[in-house]
Amino acid sequence: MMASSTTGGRMMSEVFSEPGRIRPLVDRDRFGRVIERADGVDFPFYDGAPIELATWRWVVVWAACIAGFLVLTFFPQPGNVVAIVPRTLFVAIPLAVLALVAGRHWTAPFRRVGWRDLLAMVFFAVLNIVITFTVGAIVSMLFRVTPNTTIAAAGEAGSVDAIALYAGSAIQLVGEEVFTLLPFLAVLYLLFAKGGLSRRAAVVLAWIASALWFGAAHLPTYDWNVAQAFLVIGSARIAFTLAFIRTKNLWVAAGAHILSDWVFLTAAVAGLAGASALT
């Protein structure tokens, strides 16, 4: 079920005088139509709308992201059917904590999905595939690369396990967007509200910080291959975080991530060489 929030999307012209806003914004605070839609919708929480989450609340949310990641990493997973449990907890733990600290506004990062959003999912999935192949080719010429063992073994345990892999990976990829974009919003808040940076500067720095965070989380998956985790996997945040920046909708980033990874997963199931090293 896709959650929606009327408070998650706010027209700029409607919020200049909104009570509780940390700083008023003007059109030049946005990146323009190439990057952000001209609908005036803004990120939730960082500027006090729909509510302000104090620093300690963001620390708690970030800790919940880490807790979910630890469950995903250390929960015994003898097969992809059982793996659905930790993959679900990976999503549920941080969102449950976000609901505790944000109340009914926890759905703000999840907006209603329209036809433009579906097209955006496809566009950003294709963009990520192009970026991944390009960066992956360069990195593989300069460094050793390590396959993703889960993807490399796709299809080897029978059809039921393969179906569970597709279903479980979709759940996990939603979790990866939660794991990345909640810290993105936290850093955005700290830089904008507490650090006094401009919205543009705060977005760019939060984008970089969350990409490093995402890459670091993949280090164990790729046998602590720093170049692969940060350059190849981290480069995925160019497309997926851009999807969120453009739409302010975590569903779009997650949808693009799922479509992209399913392409690599299907390639691995079909036995195409190199797919497991790119995702």
Peptide bond into 183 cis (omega under 30): no
**The predicted structure's pLDDT at residue 245:** 98
> 196 in the Ramachandran plot: left (φ > 0), alpha (ψ -120 to 50) or beta?
left
**The predicted structure's pLDDT at residue 7:** 42
Q: Could you tell me which residue, 272 or 151, shows the higher pLDDT?
A: 151
**The predicted structure's pLDDT at residue 27:** 78
How many CA atoms within 13 Å lie on the side-chain side of 164? 19
Residue 2's contacts (CB-CB under 8 Å, 6 or more residues apart) are 110, 112, 113, 251
Q: How far is CA 126 from the centre of its chain?
A: 16
**The predicted structure's pLDDT at residue 146:** 83
**8 Å CB contact between 231 and 135:** yes
**The predicted structure's pLDDT at residue 110:** 98
- If you average pLDDT over residues 126-146, what whole number do you get? 92
**The predicted structure's pLDDT at residue 279:** 58
User: CA-CA distance, 41 to 279, in Å (whole number)?
Assistant: 31
**8 Å CB contact between 227 and 101:** no
**The predicted structure's pLDDT at residue 16:** 39
Residue 50 pLDDT exceeds 90: yes
**8 Å CB contact between 113 and 2:** yes
- If you average pLDDT over residues 220-243, what whole number do you get? 93
Asked if the structure places residue 41 within a domain, the reply is: yes
Peptide bond into 19 cis (omega under 30): no
**The predicted structure's pLDDT at residue 139:** 92
> 11 in the Ramachandran plot: left (φ > 0), alpha (ψ -120 to 50) or beta?
beta
117 to each of 13, 122, 161, how far by Cα in Å? 22, 9, 31
The candidate with the shortest Cα–Cα distance to 201, out of 192, 210, 212, is 192
Asked if the structure places residue 17 within a domain, the reply is: yes
**The predicted structure's pLDDT at residue 91:** 98
Asked if the structure places residue 4 within a domain, the reply is: no
**The predicted structure's pLDDT at residue 257:** 98
**Which pair of tokens denotes residue 131?**
């970026």
Residue 238 pLDDT exceeds 60: yes
Asked if the structure places residue 7 within a domain, the reply is: no
Asked if the structure places residue 139 within a domain, the reply is: yes
**Which pair of tokens denotes residue 174?**
């939603």
The answer to whether the pTM exceeds 0.85 is yes
Asked if the structure places residue 81 within a domain, the reply is: yes
Query: What secondary structure letter does DSSP report for 36?
Result: S
User: CA-CA distance, 45 to 50, in Å (whole number)?
Assistant: 6
The candidate with the shortest Cα–Cα distance to 240, out of 228, 256, 216, is 256
**Highest mean pLDDT pick, 109-113, 147-151, 161-165, 271-275:** 109-113
**The predicted structure's pLDDT at residue 244:** 98
- If you average pLDDT over residues 199-209, what whole number do you get? 97
Asked if the structure places residue 213 within a domain, the reply is: yes
- If you average pLDDT over residues 153-172, what whole number do you get? 85
**The predicted structure's pLDDT at residue 270:** 77
Query: What secondary structure letter does DSSP report for 109?
Result: T
The candidate with the shortest Cα–Cα distance to 212, out of 235, 195, 196, is 235
Q: How many domains does the chain have?
A: 1
Q: Which of 3-17, 87-101, 146-160, 238-252 has the lowest mean pLDDT?
A: 3-17
The candidate with the shortest Cα–Cα distance to 154, out of 245, 56, 233, 262, is 262
The candidate with the shortest Cα–Cα distance to 72, out of 82, 63, 83, is 83
User: CA-CA distance, 251 to 87, in Å (whole number)?
Assistant: 17
- If you average pLDDT over residues 215-230, what whole number do you get? 92
Residue 266 pLDDT exceeds 60: yes
**Which range marks the domain in which residue 267 is found?**
12-277
The candidate with the shortest Cα–Cα distance to 108, out of 52, 191, 24, is 52
**The predicted structure's pLDDT at residue 28:** 84
User: CA-CA distance, 117 to 119, in Å (whole number)?
Assistant: 5
Per-chain mean pLDDT for the chain: 88
Q: Which of 29-33, 251-255, 265-269 has the lowest mean pLDDT?
A: 265-269
Asked if the structure places residue 35 within a domain, the reply is: yes
